[in-house]
Amino acid sequence: MNRIQVLQKQVMASQPPVTSHVLDTSRGVPAANLRVELEREASPGIWVPVGQGVTNADGRVPGLTAVGQDVSGTCRITFHTQAYFEANGTTEYFYPVVSIVFRVVDATAHYHVPLLINPFGYSTYRGS
């Protein structure tokens, strides 16, 4: 391992394994006060809560998981968009909940799950 790889590993080890950031593309702002839940699949169809939180003013979920917490395997992150939309005066929307299922293959890596939302669509990807 070279020096850069060692430093990257140290940075990864000092942050939570799963983080998220939600942006409301219809309003052009971070999605503040949106409830988020993270679960891990313990066995097929059986989901166990791993963490939860509410997005801050920047649309981020601090403390969704603890630093060093093992979340390896299949995870599901659920964004409760209905309450968010309604709290912000949006009465027409298509997705009351957005659930994203993803795999955590490397328990020492960082998995960032950004969500871009609007009342009639959403987009996500593996961020950094």
Interatomic CA distance for residues 67 and 69, integer angstroms: 6
Going by C-alpha positions, the residue among 97, 128, 101, 114 that lies closest to residue 20 is 114
Q: How far apart are CA 33 and CA 62, in angstroms?
A: 12
* Rg of the chain in Å (alpha carbons): 15
The annotation status of 21 as a binding-site residue, yes or no, is yes
Distance CA(45)–CA(76), nearest Å, equals: 11
Find out whether 110 is annotated in a ligand binding site.
no
Tell me if 126 is assigned to a ligand binding site. Answer: no
Question: What residues form the annotated binding site for substrate?
Answer: 21, 60, 125
Q: Which residues are annotated as a binding site?
A: 21, 60, 125
